[in-house]
Structure formats: C-alpha cells, structure tokens
Copies of this chain bind each other. A is one copy, B any other.
C-alpha cells in the first residue's frame, strides 16, 4: 500500500470482508442496523452519531431523539464498536456561561481527539441552529465552549490536528428551516473561541449532490490529502434523498479540492435506509480507520431512525475518488 494513512492505528476495528461479487467501494454490515431505534427507554430513534477509539474500547456521542421527538445527545460505550451501551440520560454539558450552556437542542454530533482531549461538535440550538463545541477527557464529564459561529449552521466537523497553527473546521452554512441549499466552508481558530479565515471549499453539483452537501466524519489524513466523506442531497418530487460521497482536500489548504466523487459511494437502498422517520437517508457522521490495514468502518444514520455501519478500505476509497472525480 503506497498510500499512507496518518496516525489511526486501530487493531480492533470492527470488520466484515466484502461479500463475494460485490463490486462496490463500500459494503454494508450484514447485521445492520447496529443500533436499533429503541435501544434505550426514552429513544424514538438513534442515528447520526459519532464514535472513537478509547483505550482498547470505544466511546461515542449519539443523537437520540426522544419520544417527544426532541433532539438530544447521549454518550455511550462499547467494547467492539458494534454492541453499544448508551446512557439513558442526555449529556449535561458543564459551561461557564449560562446563556451558552442553556441547552435548547443538539443533534448530529461528531467527536475527535485533538492534542489532549476529545472535542465534540454538534448542531446546537441557539436562536437557530449553529455549531456547538465541547470537550471531554473521559466521556463522563463534558464541557461546553463558545458556539463556533453565528446561526445558521450545521455539520461542523473539526480536523484532527491544527492546520497552519490553527484549529480547523468545515461547516455548512444553512437557514433556519430544512435549508434547500448548502455548500461546505472551511474556517480556522487559534483558540476554539474566535473563528475566521473563512474559505469556500465546495458547492453542489448535479444528481445526488445537487441540493446541498455537508461534511460527515472527521477528515482522514492521508499522504494524498484529507479524505473527507460527506453527504449530498437530491430533491425529488417527494423530498430530500441523502447519499454519501468522498472528496480529497489539500493537506495544507483544505479549501482546495483535489478530487471529488461524481457517483455516490453509498445511497439509501435498504429497508432501514428507505423506511423510517425520514425515508431515504444515509447520513455519515463517523469513521473508524486502521492505518495499518486501511480498514474503514463508516457509521451512518439510516432513515433518521437507526445507526448502521458500512466497511471499506481507505486506499480503495482514495483511489475511487481520484478515478471518479468531477474535479
């Protein structure tokens, strides 16, 4: 393998080999969904969630919509990243500032280790959706920082290390509703409080990514660039369809797109992706990667109802992105 994946050793990554005859660059876990909608008593649905290695176990932050259909974030843990135990109570973020810490709603979290702690970002309700930032060191106590941006924003995803000396984040400026548009932008911060140097990364094109796009898992650093798995939305006469694609971003100037898949790499086709609270949604939020083997386990929400996993090899995904690029 000539492609180098930077710093993501994960010998115990959950894994199933590609089914015989399956030509796709990603293939689904045969036992999907890994997390059913009703795993905990209060849950209407558990989806669009993020997981990370934690010692030789796994931890995660999970979007749990309760039976009032309120959007909450819960923490959870697992030994194999497939069987999860999720806290019955939502995360309570400790926050110095009363107004910022006043929880309204939170959804679609991401989690990433940077330097000395796990940072969590999520779509945070503060007079509209914006990007909330918090951190934890143990997945028991969570601290909330300032919101990164003014409303309206969604899908704020941190890079796993500083770029040019600053923290770096991609996000998708939105409106205050279901947002029928949306491009991916890049921003930097010296301190996780003040954000600037905003750059446009990429916009919508045609087909499955013609309405809006948004970053998914934490970008994966490779010798060929940042591998950013993202979702794209198509608007049919019956609503939005969420599929999954991939892009390669320049390592130093991530707002420069090196390659980007013309086809999707996963689209809603199974029952648990097509039938549920929001039909026809495959929404990726996290990836586990083993740099030694290139194995990748992609965690994504199905039909805004359950959590599913798909597998692939990073090197194949990078190659596929370059071979099928619209750039």
Chain B nearest CB, measured from A29 CB (Å): 19
Whether A14 sits at the interface, judged by CB under 8 Å, is no
Whether A190 sits at the interface, judged by CB under 8 Å, is yes
For A130, the chain B residues whose CB sits under 8 A away are 198
Stretch at the interface among A56-64, A107-115, A149-157, A309-317: A149-157
Contact A173 B194 (CB under 8 A): no
For A267, the chain B residues whose CB sits under 8 A away are 44, 67
Whether A206 sits at the interface, judged by CB under 8 Å, is yes
Bin chain A's interface residue count: 35 or more
Q: How far is the CA of A133 from the CA of B69 in the complex (A)?
A: 35
Q: What is the count of identical protomers in the complex?
A: 6
Chain B nearest CB, measured from A167 CB (Å): 10
Contact B200 A127 (CB under 8 A): yes
Whether A175 sits at the interface, judged by CB under 8 Å, is yes
Given A173-B150, A193-B196, A264-B68, A178 and B237 touching (CB < 8 A)?
Answer: yes
Interface positions, chain A 271-288, Cβ under 8 Å from B, are 271, 274-280
**A183 touches which of B127, B236, B241 (Cβ 8 Å):** B127
Chain B nearest CB, measured from A212 CB (Å): 10
Chain B nearest CB, measured from A207 CB (Å): 3
Q: How far is the CA of A150 from the CA of B198 in the complex (A)?
A: 6
Q: A172 — nearest CB in chain B belongs to which residue?
A: B150
Per-residue interface assignment for chain A, residues 120 to 151, with 1 indicating a CB less than 8 Å from any chain B CB and 0 otherwise: 00000011101000000000000000111111
Contact A263 B66 (CB under 8 A): yes
